[in-house]
């Protein structure tokens, strides 16, 4: 028999404790993500896996907005974020900070997600693209590698917030135990 846990039993961190807690060595870069609900979902997923920060680029909206908050449920207050005019600017700054740049995109030579093994002493910036156009080619060109989520249907396309969840879960829980 199963009993759902109530909120008090989940061991949630307070906002202050979350900000002080160690973070996974990853930054998320959103390259012109247009849907504020997708942005809010990205914040919520980053909170769940304690991602270091989110870089919102180009047309990607920034908190506070009601639409971001609706999906983020407050994670926009716990996860560090910055805005950049372009994803290339974000990638350049992250590279200066010592991050390895990884675009999540269907590209020649891409590593299949299940085969990616991050090195434990490295930091990675994971770039996710626009809902229609994906990661801009110039950002792919500036990347150290690309990851591809294997897909077997007719669309070969996932919602960006779903892709973020799949990639972070795979990397955090399968590779950095």
- The answer to whether residue 14 sits within a structural domain is no
Q: Which two tokens stand for residue 144?
A: 């150290």
pLDDT in tens, the chain (177 residues): 999 999 889 999 999 999 999 999 999 999 999 999 999 999 999 999 999 999 999 999 999 999 999 999 999 999 999 999 999 999 999 999 999 999 999 999 999 999 999 998 999 999 999 999 999 999 999 999 999 999 999 998 999 999 999 999 999 877 655
- The answer to whether residue 28 sits within a structural domain is yes
- The answer to whether residue 13 sits within a structural domain is no
The HSE-up count of residue 20 (CA atoms within 13 Å, CB side) is 5
- The answer to whether residue 139 sits within a structural domain is yes
- The domain tally of the chain equals 1
- The answer to whether residue 8 sits within a structural domain is no
- The answer to whether residue 11 sits within a structural domain is no
- The answer to whether residue 9 sits within a structural domain is no
> Which CATH number belongs to the domain containing residue 97 in this structure?
3.40.1280.10
Tell me how far apart the alpha carbons of residues 164 and 177 are, in angstroms, rounded to a whole number: 19
91: buried, middle or exposed (CB in 10 Å: 19+, 13-18, 0-12)? Answer: buried
- The answer to whether residue 16 sits within a structural domain is no
* Residue ranges making up the domain that contains 120: 21-175
């Amino acid at each position: 028999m199963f009993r759902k846990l109530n909120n008090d039993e989940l061991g949630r961190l307070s906002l202050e404790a979350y900000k002080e807690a160690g973070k996974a060595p990853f930054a998320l870069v959103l390259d012109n993500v247009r849907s504020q609900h997708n942005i809010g979902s990205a914040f919520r997923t980053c909170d769940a896996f304690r991602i270091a920060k989110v870089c919102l680029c180009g047309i990607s909206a920034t908190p506070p907005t009601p639409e971001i908050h609706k999906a983020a449920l407050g994670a926009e207050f716990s996860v560090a974020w910055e805005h950049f005019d372009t994803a290339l600017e974000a990638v350049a700054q992250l590279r200066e900070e010592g991050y390895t740049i990884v675009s999540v995109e269907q590209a020649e030579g891409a590593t299949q997600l299940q085969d990616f093994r991050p090195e434990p002493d490295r930091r990675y910036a994971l770039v996710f693209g626009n809902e229609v156009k994906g990661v801009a080619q110039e950002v792919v060109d500036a990347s150290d590698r690309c990851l591809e989520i294997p897909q077997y249907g007719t669309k070969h396309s996932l919602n960006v917030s779903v892709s973020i969840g799949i990639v972070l879960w795979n990397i955090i829980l399968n590779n950095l135990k």
